């Protein structure tokens, strides 16, 4: 996605405080997922992190839950196209690819697509 008007994009982001109180007496807050692809009823969720960012425990739990439902979640760490590592969550576990490259990431995404492309 190319952001043509950064101010307009920022202004369009929701303030999740609108849901305060909806999740009972908890500290639950919505998280975002950076990308999603659906093919033949199977979903691939994509999450980008900066080079030094970490995956929070809550987000990791959410991604494990999505994977246990039969989806695939790929979290990748990069600066621009310089991919350093990625994690693939799938039903039954996860695998870290560290170090990794953009070509490695593109390969794993292509393999996911091949595996779900036939109905």
**Structure confidence at residue 118 (pLDDT):** 84
Q: 71 lies in a domain?
A: yes
Give the global pTM. 0.90
Question: Element (H or E) spanning 112, and its range?
Answer: helix 102-116
Domain count along the chain: 1
Q: 50 lies in a domain?
A: yes
Which structural domain range is residue 85 located in?
33-116
Q: 79 lies in a domain?
A: yes
Q: What are phi and psi of 46, to 5 degrees?
A: -120, 130
Residue-wise pLDDT tens for the chain (119 aa)?
688 999 999 999 999 999 999 999 998 989 889 999 999 999 999 999 999 999 999 999 999 999 999 999 999 999 989 999 999 999 999 999 999 999 999 999 999 999 999 87
Q: 85 lies in a domain?
A: yes
Q: 42 lies in a domain?
A: yes
CA distances to 21, 45, 48, 89 from 52, in Å: 32, 21, 11, 20
Q: 14 lies in a domain?
A: no
Q: 67 lies in a domain?
A: yes
């Amino acid at each position: 996605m190319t952001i043509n008007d950064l101010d307009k994009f920022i202004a369009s982001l929701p303030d999740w405080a609108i849901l305060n109180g909806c999740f009972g007496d908890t500290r639950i807050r919505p998280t975002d997922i950076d990308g999603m692809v659906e093919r033949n009823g199977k979903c691939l969720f994509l999450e980008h992190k900066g080079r030094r960012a970490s995956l929070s425990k809550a987000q990791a739990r959410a991604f494990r839950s999505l994977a246990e439902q039969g989806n695939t979640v790929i979290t990748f760490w990069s600066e621009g196209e310089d991919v350093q590592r990625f994690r693939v969550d799938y039903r039954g576990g996860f695998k870290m690819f560290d170090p990794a490259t953009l070509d490695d990431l593109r390969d794993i995404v292509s393999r996911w697509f091949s595996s779900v492309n036939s109905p």
